[in-house]
A and B are shown apart, each in its own frame.
Chain A
Amino acid sequence: MGHRNRGAAALALAGAAVLVRAPGGTAIRRVRRSWDWRMAVEGGSMLPALRPGDWLLVDPHGFDQGRPAAGDLVVVPDPRLTERWLVKRVWAVDPDGRLDVRGDSPAASTDSRTFGAVDPATIVGRPWLRYWPIRRGGRVG
């Protein structure tokens, strides 16, 4: 039962975080379009921002309003094996528009330093909300 309450609380908190920090109808739409893009973080290359086991909502239209810029979180397919998705942060945008993505924890990250810059057209989405664990729930990015 405790788990159930916690789960409900997570939902409530996710909802509250959205409503408080992003007023207006857009936030609700954002949750709805991200809901099918719930993703779990595996690995520690994004520490401290993202921890292994964090559950995120990823907005598939997160970059519709503007191109990714340095500092943005992105989910991109691993260029070496595209069915595997990576969560990284844009480190720099190359002059040709390709993204140099890195882990926040460079020593524990395999990223553009290994596989080169990634094509922004391949971006899966933009992580924007952590809904689990509740205590650290809220916006990410």
Chain B
Amino acid sequence: MLTRLIGALAPRRTVHAHCDIPCGVYDPQQARIEAESCYKIIQKYNDSSDELFRARCIVVKEERADLAKHHIDVMWHDYFKPEHVEKFADLHETCWKASKQGSKVKQTVDINEAQKLLDLIDRIDHMWRETGGSTATRMQQLEPVGGAASDVAASAVKG
């Protein structure tokens, strides 16, 4: 009775009054790195005959594919703007396919599917570059961290 009453009164859907706190930092490489992990994991899975190792591959691949999907969705929902859609007619289609391909990679150990995911992410990457790319959405790294560290190492060797 109570459930029915609440059911009758309860709202049918949600209206959002949210803040995204858009930090403005976007880079499809985040998705690509996770997708590369999936690709390599599938290779290692297929090369191995160790059942335990193969089981771990499946688990980790699913995690990575999920992260790739998340990063694709962030590009789609948060980065791309209406004017980008006007510029690239296939933007929605590509993001949608990429997200779906992420699900496919979760399900399969077919390396071709992992390659398809990489290709779709690269298409998103292309659209990101053409709409501002890293100059618009990444902080400028004044001094590459790796470079500075190796300089220290080099001087230590010399010293």
B26 → chain A closest CB, angstroms = 13
**Stretch among B3-11, B116-124, B130-138, B141-149 lining the A interface:** B3-11
Residues of A within 8 A of B11 (CB): 38-40, 55-56
A37-B1 Cα distance, complex, nearest whole Å:
23
A11-B9, A39-B11 as given contacts; A80 in contact with B16, CB under 8 Å: no
- Taking a contact as CB atoms under 8 Å apart, the answer to whether A86 and B15 are in contact is yes
The reply to whether B10 and A42 form a contact with Cβ atoms under 8 Å apart is no
| Cα A115 to Cα B20 with chains together (Å) | 11
- Give CA–CA (A33, B1) in the complex, Å: 25
Stretch at the interface among B35-43, B51-59, B76-84, B103-111: B76-84
How many B residues face the partner with a CB closer than 8 A? 23
Decide if A3 touches B6 in the complex (CB within 8 Å): yes
Question: Nearest Cβ in chain B — how far from A68, in angstroms?
Answer: 16
The reply on B14 being an interface residue by CB < 8 A is: yes
Residues of A in contact (CB 8 Å), total 43
Q: Judge if B17 is at the interface, Cβ distance under 8 Å.
A: yes
Does A135 count as interface, using CB distance less than 8 angstroms? Answer: no
Picked from B12, B17, B80, the residue with its CB within 8 Å of the CB of A50 is B17
Contacts of B159 in A (CB 8 A): none
- For B13, give the chain A residue with the smallest CB separation: A39
Taking the complex as formed, is B154 at the interface, i.e. its CB lies under 8 A from any CB of chain A?
Answer: no
Q: Which of A16-24, A59-67, A103-111 contacts B (4 or more CB under 8 A)?
A: A103-111
Nearest 3 pairs of A and B residues by beta carbon: A43-B18, A40-B11, A87-B15
Residues in chain A within 8 A of chain B (CB atoms): 3-4, 7-8, 10-11, 36-46, 50, 52, 55-56, 58, 75, 78-81, 84-88, 103, 107-110, 114-116, 127, 131-132
Some 11 contacts from A to B, beta carbons below 8 A apart, are A3-B2, A11-B9, A42-B15, A43-B17, A46-B17, A85-B14, A85-B16, A88-B17, A107-B19, A114-B20, A115-B82
**B residues within 8 Å of A by Cβ?**
1-2, 5-6, 9-22, 77-78, 80-82
